[in-house]
Amino acid sequence: MDSRNENRSMQRRILISAWLVYFLMTTPGSYGTSVISTRMVTDHGWSESLIGMGSSIYFAFMAIFSTVSGMVESRIGYRKTMLIGAVIGVGVFATLLFGYTLVPVYLAMFGLMGVSCVMGGLTAGPGLVNAWFGDSAMLPMALLMTAGSIGGFTMPVIAQLLAARDVRLCWSFYGIMSLAAVLISIFFVRDREEPAAAGKKEPAADRDHASMRKIYTSFTFFSLTLQQLAIRAAAFGILSYIVLHAVQHDVSPLRAALLITIFNVSNMIGRLSSGIADRLHVTPRQLCIGSLFFCGTGCLLIGLSHGFAGFAAGAAIAGFGFGIGCTIKPVLAAQCFGSENFPVVNGVLESLSLLGNVLAPIVVYQAALLLGGYPAAYRVLGIFELVCLLPVLRTRFTRIKI
């Protein structure tokens, strides 16, 4: 009984630690730099294209290093990987504190910021939760994922308050956040030790290429990748242009900006609902299907509406689906491909999924140009989400035998 209570206590400690590190390492770059970017335009005369380049570099490095992070996790464990990411973050923000007005330094640091985000929490956090909770990881994973959505509507406010006085205050604050992540990784995060009787497992990175190829060429991996690409395309297609779309329909800028908050709050609700749904015997496959359905319905509603109420409803529905989809990805990856393969497979899956972050703003903008406006672009995006349901409906999401 004592050992069971001790294990539960350790699980709670790990979940809290993972949540804190995930929040500290993923939210500054993903949500807090946009405010600083506007100051670079107004205070230093930088072009909007230069600011966009920084964002693109950030997501590109995240996409590239997600696979690298997965390989590192399989070699040295989640704790050391998180520590490396946090240390990189400290170095990034310390450098920006003194050289943020230098274009090469600014862009280079945005790339390394993406690396610290991935290694510090984006791939290592879910891996740590999966290792400690195993088959019961759904609710803990949902709680972990709330860190990102909470950061979505708190970090821009914090950054605005600090940047209003001095941009360097933001970089200092982000550096302190990274330093806190370093300390938490050292003193509180622990990798799950395998029982000695089980023997030392071979790292997934060292498995024969034929076995890993079977995973990457399986229909299950294709369906999960497509689902992740689709929900991220919906999310970043909405986040990039819904404010502009609403303003073009005579919605005030203040109310239009509120749509982003609605999306992020609904995103958090979707993540929490995934954990509760597991207790109600809703299967991961059903949640996976639901994520695409809600994202598609939300995009269609935005494209078919002509006022704030319709835009808000669409943003809320799509945000809910995005929250479900983000939570279910690591759970399905472990369920289908095994915990022993999770670090590498999850890293590759994250790299492919991040293409949705990179391509969605470009594709939605080009679709709006070709089709005569954002309403048509969002309708096409909604149809794309629903089409992506077809292969997911054919997938059972059971363990792949290798």
Give tens-digit pLDDT for 106-134. 888 889 999 999 999 889 999 999 999 98
Secondary structure (DSSP) of 368-402 = HHHHTSHHHHHHHHHHHHHHTHHHHHT----PPP-
Residue 202 pLDDT: 58
Percentage with pLDDT > 90 across the chain: 52
Q: What is the 3-state secondary structure (H, E, C) of 266-291?
A: HHHHHHHHHHHHHHCCCCHHHHHHHH
* Residue 59 confidence (pLDDT): 85
Of 113-122, 147-156, 181-190, 347-356, the poorest mean pLDDT is in 147-156
What is residue 207's predicted lDDT score, i.e. its pLDDT?
59
| Mean pLDDT, rounded, for 1-20 | 85
Q: What is the pLDDT of residue 136?
A: 85
Q: DSSP state, 134? A: G
Question: Taking Cα atoms as reference points, which of 153, 107, 145, 135 lies closest to residue 270?
Answer: 145
CA atoms within 13 A on the CB side of 378: 30
Residue pointed to by tokens 């993923």: 26
Question: Does residue 335 register a pLDDT over 70?
Answer: yes
State the amino acid at position 254 in one-letter form. L
Distance from C-alpha of 72 to C-alpha of 74, rounded to nearest angstrom: 5
What is the predicted pLDDT for the residue at 81?
Answer: 95
Mean pLDDT within 69-73? 93
Whether the per-residue pLDDT at 197 is higher than 60: the answer is no
The pLDDT of residue 195: 47
Q: For the ranges 29-38, 148-157, 287-296, 362-371, which has the lowest average pLDDT?
A: 29-38
What's the rounded mean pLDDT across residues 257-283?
88
**Whether residue 317 has pLDDT greater than 90:** yes
**Residue found under tokens 């997965």:** 70
d(CA 300, CA 303) in angstroms, rounded, equals 5
Rounded CA-CA distance 96/40 in Å is 13
199 — pLDDT class (breaks 50, 70, 90): very low
pLDDT at 204: 58
The stretch 243-251 carries a mean pLDDT of 90
First to last CA, the chain: 37
| Ramachandran area for residue 204 (φ above 0: left; ψ -120 to 50: alpha; else beta) | alpha
Identify the pLDDT of residue 206. Answer: 58
pLDDT greater than 90 at residue 210: no
In this structure, the number of other CB atoms found within 10 A of the CB of residue 338 comes to 16
For residue 300 the two structure tokens come to 């269609």
Domains of the chain, first to last? 8-190 (1.20.1250.20), 208-393 (1.20.1250.20)
- Kindly report, residue by residue over 93-109, the tens digit of the pLDDT: 999 888 877 888 888 88
What gap in Å lies between CA 235 and CA 315, rounded to an integer?
9
SS3 (DSSP) at 220: helix
Mean pLDDT score, 234-241: 90
Residues 6+ away with beta carbon under 8 Å from 92: 109, 112, 113, 116, 178
Q: Provide the CA 197 distance to its chain's centre, in angstroms.
A: 36
Q: Give the chain's mean pLDDT.
A: 88
Compute CA 317 distance to the chain's CA centroid, rounded to the nearest angstrom: 18
Query: In angstroms, rounded to a whole number, what is the distance separating the alpha carbons of residues 164 and 58?
Result: 24
Task: Map tokens 């940047």 to a residue.
Answer: 163
Measured at the CA of 281, the angle between CA 18 and CA 292, to 5 degrees, comes to 75
Three-state secondary structure call for residue 217? coil
Residue 33 host element (H or E): helix 33-44
Give the whole-angstrom CA distance, residue 119 versus residue 402: 28
Residue 201 pLDDT grade (very low, low, confident, very high; cuts 50, 70, 90): low
pTM of full prediction above 0.85: yes
Lowest mean pLDDT among 1-10, 121-130, 162-171, 277-286: 1-10
Tell me which residue has tokens 């490095």: 61
- Tokens of residue 340, six digits: 């022993």
- Count CA within 13 A, CB hemisphere, residue 7: 10
Q: What angle do CA 261, 324, 83 make, to 5 degrees?
A: 85
Burial code (b: 16+ CB inside 10 Å, e: under 16) for 251-270 equals beeeebebbbebbbbbbbbb
For range 55-67, the mean pLDDT: 88
DSSP assignments along 150-192, one per residue: HHHHHHHHHHHHHHTT-HHHHHHHHHHHHHHHHHHHHHT--PP
Instruction: Supply the pLDDT for residue 393.
Output: 92
Residue 192 CA to residue 349 CA, distance in Å, equals 23
